[in-house]
Copies of this chain bind each other. A is one copy, B any other.
Amino acid sequence: MKKKITLKTIAKELDVSVSTVSKALKNSSEISLDTREKIQAFAQLYNYRPNNIAISLKNRRTKNIGVIIPDIVHHFFTTVFRGIENYANAKGYNVIVCISDESFDKEVINMELLANGSIDGYIMSLAAETQKKGDYSHLISVVDQGIPLVLFDRVTDQIQCDKITINDEEAGYLATKKLIEGGSKHIALVMNENYLNVDAQRAHGYYRALQEAGLKVDDSMILRLPYQFEEEDKSVQFFKHIVIDGLVSVNEVFAIRCMKQLQQLGKKIPEDVAIIGFTNGILSQMANPSLTSVMQHGQRMGEKAAELLIDRVEGQLEDKQMPFRSAVIQAGILERDSTR
């Protein structure tokens, strides 16, 4: 087992000072070519790599970014994460991930865990519980300390920071309009039983489209589901009692779950009921019939989030004053076989 090699080791071995070694390895012209070559050769031979931690301490920055997301087993977050990782790695940053599991407490603990110098900034999407509770003190504290923070998808007005979302209201509107254009008149909306700002936005769009088309807006057409699948699902009762010919879902999981139940009730998709979901994941692709869905461009969102964060982190180094930015990614509809 090889021992770790440090500047000190090299210095001792070559009988020069630590500073000389450091400079030589940076190819500083302050050091004679002879010495430089000798030191570099030695370092190469023993495969010297500077200790990141020491450099972090010295520079007061880690080149790590912290990502806190509600869930990882979820196609949308997974694609966002891939985007973040992509961009960050290209810029020489590492990504530390924590999962809040939709829990407020876990979110707070995770932020604490990363707070003390482990990272240069956060990228987050709020836990459902946090949004419900409306308690953002942990975020405020971070922002107060001047630690860069980027919020994506599940954002809040309560915090002043960089944000990145899709145009949820409009996407909800367009999705609903798509069904209306296909001839649907009784359109259900399926959303999370927990309050989420994105769901609320999408619901606005849904309402707007209905009103514009002169269709009746009726709260009994709204189905709220838990994210975890339960056997005696509320949706079973819902579909038995409510007659619909269209369905908008705020995510693909609910859409597919509902599609299956409608099929079991003998409905044909899209002939009897047209369905459109959010999140264009593997589930949407593989469903039978495949699901028309709103593309959220998760990867692009992740890349943009990382870009905003790293911009700010590096801006801070030069004492640059930057206003907070809000980027909006335009969602698009990918038409497949579940709509007409």
Contacts and interface: CB of A to CB of B under 8 A. Distances in A.
B118 A94 contact: yes
Contact of A287 (B4, B64, B115, B286): B286
B1 A146 contact: yes
Nearest to A145: B2
Contact of A285 (B53, B75, B229): B229
A117 B78 contact: no
A79 interface: yes
A203 to B, nearest CB: 24
A188 to B, nearest CB: 19
A51 interface: yes
A52 interface: yes
Contacts of A44: none
Contacts of A123: none
Contact of A99 (B2, B62, B85, B98): B85
Interface string A194-228: 00000000000000000000000000000000000
Interface of A: 1-2, 4, 49-54, 56-57, 62, 64, 72-73, 75, 78-79, 81-82, 85, 89, 92, 94-99, 110, 113-118, 144-146, 229, 253, 256-257, 260, 263, 282-283, 285-288
A118 B81 CA distance: 20
Given A73-B82, A94-B96, A282-B283, 15 more contacts: A1-B145, A2-B144, A2-B145, A53-B57, A64-B96, A72-B72, A72-B78, A73-B79, A81-B97, A85-B98, A89-B110, A94-B113, A94-B118, A95-B97, A253-B282
Contacts of A285: 229
A152 to B, nearest CB: 16
A240 B277 CA distance: 33
Nearest to A114: B94
Contact of A116 (B50, B75, B283): B50
A259 to B, nearest CB: 8
